[in-house]
């Protein structure tokens, strides 16, 4: 029993040390513990249901923005397309990387428009829309930047950072500010390697 307890304690302390070391090596703010996301019912660019289960078994970069706002759309989608390409030497991770663009302007960003814009960057990327109250409920699960005005999804996440959701559909990390594709891909690799979550 003593040996088993020592083994468990050693594993726990090793994990704690690895997590602390990782926080100093990546540009993201790691959430400890990771934040559970609520169940939600939204729509993807094909008009199909988009729920919490769609995030499971993926490493998902989530971004809140306006698909008709070129600065927002072009910058983040082009960046994530480059990150995806930089993972070509790790096919298991590349296949599990998901980019999710959640609109903050559901009145303007229809599923058809999301599909047209997002397909240009990558056919597997996902655009998400839905009823404003449901979008706001999802936004409430993510750390806002800046502080929101009640009932305003766009204000809640204007200038959104990139959020990383792990394969257990929990919010794991927040990338603030603009990061380059090489750095973002390297950070994702380190997070996946350090957390020890199986990809195969």
Q: Does residue 103 form part of some domain?
A: yes
Query: Which residues are CB-contacts of 199 (< 8 A; sequence separation ≥ 6)?
Result: 92, 93, 96, 167, 192
Q: Measured in whole angstroms, how far is the alpha carbon of residue 193 from the centre of its chain?
A: 17
Find, among 103, 27, 100, the residue nearest to 59 by Cα.
Answer: 100
pLDDT tens column, 114-171: 999 999 999 999 999 999 999 999 998 998 654 444 444 444 344 578 999 999 999 9
pLDDT at 18: 56
Mean pLDDT computed over 66-81: 84
182: which residues sit within 8 A by CB, 6+ positions away? 86
> Can you read off the two tokens belonging to residue 66?
């306006």
Q: Does 116 fall in a domain?
A: yes
Task: Indicate whether 77 belongs to any domain.
Answer: yes
Given this model, what pLDDT does residue 152 score? 47
Task: Say if 191 falls within a structural domain.
Answer: yes
Provide the token pair at 34: 């990771």
Does any domain span residue 151?
yes
Q: How many domains are there within the chain?
A: 1
Question: Does 200 map to a domain?
Answer: no
Per the structure, the complete domain to which residue 70 belongs is given by 2-195
Mean pLDDT score of the chain, rounded to an integer? 82
Residue 45 lies in a domain: yes
∠ CA(140), CA(146), CA(151), 5° rounding?
45
Q: pLDDT tens digit string along 80-124?
A: 999 999 999 999 999 999 999 999 999 999 999 999 999 999 999
Measured between alpha carbons, how far apart are the two ends of the chain, in Å? 32
Least Cα distance to 150 among 127, 132, 164, 171 occurs for: 132
Res 180 pLDDT > 80? yes
Domain at 60, CATH number: 3.40.30.10
């Amino acid at each position: 029993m003593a040996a088993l307890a020592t083994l468990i304690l050693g594993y726990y302390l090793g994990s704690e040390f690895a997590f602390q070391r990782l926080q100093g090596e990546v540009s993201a703010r790691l959430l400890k513990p990771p934040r559970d996301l609520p169940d939600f019912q939204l729509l993807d660019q094909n008009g199909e249901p988009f729920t919490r289960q769609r995030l499971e078994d993926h490493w998902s970069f989530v971004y809140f923005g306006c698909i008709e706002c070129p600065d927002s759309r072009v910058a983040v989608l082009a960046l994530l397309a480059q990150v995806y390409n930089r993972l070509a030497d790790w096919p298991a991770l590349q296949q599990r990387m998901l980019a999710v663009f959640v609109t903050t302007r559901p009145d303007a960003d229809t599923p058809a428009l999301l599909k047209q814009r997002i397909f240009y960057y990558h056919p597997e990327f996902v655009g998400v829309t839905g009823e404003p109250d449901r979008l706001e409920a999802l936004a409430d699960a993510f750390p806002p930047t800046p502080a929101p005005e009640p009932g305003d999804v766009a204000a809640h996440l204007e200038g959104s950072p990139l959020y990383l959701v792990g394969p257990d559909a929990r919010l794991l990390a927040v990338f603030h500010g603009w990061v380059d594709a090489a750095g973002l891909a390297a950070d994702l690799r380190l997070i996946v390697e350090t957390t020890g979550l199986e990809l195969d």
